[in-house]
Amino acid sequence: MKRASLRDRLRYAFDNFMSRGTIALIGGLGVLSLVVILVAALILSTTGVHPEDSGPLGFFEAAWASLMRTLDAGTMGSDTGWGFRLIMFGVTLGGVFIISTLIGVLTSGIESKLDELRKGRSRVIEEGHTVILGWSEQVFTLVSELAIANANQRHPVIVIMGEKDKVEMEDEIRARVGDTGRTRVVCRTGNPMEPTDLELVSLHTARSIIVLATDEEEPDSQVIKTILAIVNHPHRRPEPYHIVAAIRDPRNWEVAKMVGQDEVELVLAHDLIARIIAQTCRQSGLSAVYTELLDFGGDEIYFASEPGLTGRTFGEALLAYENSALIGLCRNGTPMLNPPMETIIEPGDQVIAISEDDDTVRLSGRSDLGIDESAIQTPPQAPAVPERTLILGWNQRAPATLNELDRYVPPGSEVTIVASHIAGAVEVAGLRNQTVSLHEAETTDRQALENLRVGTYDRVIVLCYDGLDPQRADARTLITLLHLRDIAEHSDHRFSIVSEMLDVRNRDLAEATHADDFIVSDRLVSLMMAQISENKALNAVLSDIFDPEGSEIYLKPATYYVKAGVPVNFYTVVEAARRRGQVAIGYRLLAHANDAERSYGIVINPDKSGVITFTEQDRVIVVAEE
């Protein structure tokens, strides 16, 4: 084998030096420049060569003269004496080649560093911040809600990491969310499933971590891998994390829970939306109630300790608050939604209340509540009548929606499913209270809808198709809703319409169709995740509210509780509901049902001393078992 020559060795050493990067180049060029300056200074100081108009130069004076000529070639224009000129000419040439190269390397290095910072690859130095891992449409709702929740905090920060350009993420947030108030949003580019990238967002100092699924295939597997990367990170903190994540497929629930254990709070997204659709289609306005409870714009659910209630019953505690609405108790960490009215409140119990803020859950101390006994009335006993439901469209949430709806409708009910393609219909087997008929047709075809005799149904549910981008899916839904509105205007039979939407920006357009409810699926899931990220204990309460077993939220006719046309305060309504084992938390006025400025007539947690006069069409919002 041929031995390496000196030239080869020098070239190899030079290549290795060059591969060390910008810092090494700057250092090498700086040393070389210094050598040129010092050599010139040494020659001038030892040989006595000097300009004709001055005496001999000392070493430091000669070094300074050499430095000035390396930085600016024009400096030597005033030199005198050919010996001095020749030496300075050599120094200037060194400056032209070496210093210019050094400046170029510095410029290139600075540009490279700026590009690196632009890509969002620097580590975040924050404490008590909220981390969002992943990028999807849900980011905008989460940032907006968390900014409202953090309005009373000092220096709140949201850190987002996704596989997208940092500047693009920041621009989209500014365009879609707007002003975030006191909350600062920091974006970083990285893969949430990579432990090295997770170092960028300072998980060990984060208050909560929200894991989002992308719109790619197998989103649950990405969520599970991200949770696995967090809890098994080699540099993880010893204290438990507070992780919130949404799982779409129920079959992945156990795996995600096994990976995250007590550190993760899971939201089963498709089941949640299916339950809301099933409940809302039978109770107009219920989706607006859920939105009011889940967003941070009004009243929210809080836990509070109140020793003054110890020894009293839960029924008595309902009337002990003026500006808060109790919905349950928390005992030994376990929430009890609408427990029996005779339940005794024990030491250590917490009340679960809907209130404006956690510090507003205070006893009123009032004894004269002004309850009007003459206005309280008993509801009529109406027989259960089989119901007819029409479902237009099909997606992966449809089987769960059917199963949930089967829990509420009377026996003998019917459901008709119409879609251009129906997949997974076998999953609807086993329904007890409904019979199902399937038809393939285009739900945007007016003639197909006419042939269905839509006016003969009690309710219509419009679902978004899978496999389409949100805008195309919502566009098909809007066309269907426009046809339904026209059919309803020419029908003698009143039927309710509940529609699923994917993009909240399309809701304003959909409201022109005068459908009864619009369920923006991703928005509701995002609102729930934002609430849980602020208070981990809320997951059990919200899961209980959406669970068909036990107590849930209902909108019942106001005349079931008090007489129509009679002014009463809300204490009277709460008392009327209490006698039926229910908790009244608000009401809906039909006169404002189409007014978005008035929350579609929804009033949650009204002042109990405030007087209201109900009509026959108004509703009282209660937490009840049925």
Domain definitions of the chain by residue range: 14-118, 130-274, 281-379+526-624, 388-515
Ordered DSSP codes for 119-187 = TT-SPP--SS-EEEES-STHHHHHHHHHHHHTTTSSS-EEEEEESS-HHHHHHHHHHHT---TT-EEEE
Where do we find the tokens 């679960």?
352
Q: Which long-range contacts (CB under 8 A, 24 or more apart) does 69-78 make?
A: 69/95, 70/33, 70/36, 70/37, 70/94, 70/95, 70/98, 70/99, 71/95, 71/99
Q: How many angstroms separate the CA atoms of 621 and 305, rounded?
A: 25
320 close to 363: Cβ distance less than 8 angstroms: yes
Burial 32-71 (b: 16+ CB within 10 A, else e): bbeebbeebbebbbeeebbbeeeeebeeeebbebbbbbbe
281-379+526-624 matches 14-118 in CATH topology: no
Q: What are phi and psi of 101, to 5 degrees?
A: -65, -40
Contacts of residue 105, defined as CB under 8 A and 6 or more positions apart, other chains included, come to 22, 25, 26, 29
For residue 28, the SS3 value is helix
Range 130-274 classified under CATH 3.50.50.60: no
The pLDDT value recorded for residue 427 is 54
pLDDT for res 89: 64
Give the model's pLDDT for residue 468.
Answer: 78
Distance CA 178, CA 165 (A): 19
The sign of the dihedral angle between the CA atoms of 420, 421, 425, 427 is negative
pLDDT tens-place string over residues 107-151: 676 666 656 656 667 788 888 899 999 998 889 999 999 999 888
Say which amino acid occupies 52. E
Please give the pLDDT value at position 497: 83
Instruction: Reply yes or no on domain 281-379+526-624 having CATH 3.20.20.80.
Output: no
**CA 325/CA 323 separation, integer angstroms:** 7
pLDDT tens track for 47-106: 766 666 666 677 767 767 666 666 655 555 555 555 666 666 666 666 666 666 766 766
CATH superfamily of 388-515: NAD(P)-binding Rossmann-like Domain (3.40.50.720)
What span, in angstroms and rounded, lies between the C-alpha atoms of 61 and 425? 92
408 touches 279 (CB < 8 A): yes
Q: What is the pLDDT of residue 271?
A: 84
* Structure confidence at residue 1 (pLDDT): 45
200, 206 contact by CB (below 8 A): no
Q: What are the beta bridge partners of residue 211?
A: 133, 245
> Which residue type does 194 have?
E
Coil/strand/helix, residue 249: coil
Instruction: Look at residue 211 in the predicted model and tell me its pLDDT.
Output: 93
| Tokens found for residue 296 | 């941070």
Q: Letter for the amino acid at 219?
A: P
Residues of the chain scoring pLDDT < 50: 1, 425-426
Report the distance separating Cα 238 and Cα 436, nearest Å: 53
- Residue-level length of the chain: 626
Q: Are 478 and 513 in contact (CB under 8 A)?
A: yes
Tokens of 176: 């879609």
Q: Give the span between the Cα atoms of 294 and 273, in whole angstroms.
A: 14
Task: Say which CATH topology domain 14-118 has.
Answer: Helix Hairpins (1.10.287)
**pTM for this model (two decimals):** 0.78
The tokens for 174 are 């500014």
Which is nearest to 267 in space by CA: 241, 245, 298?
245
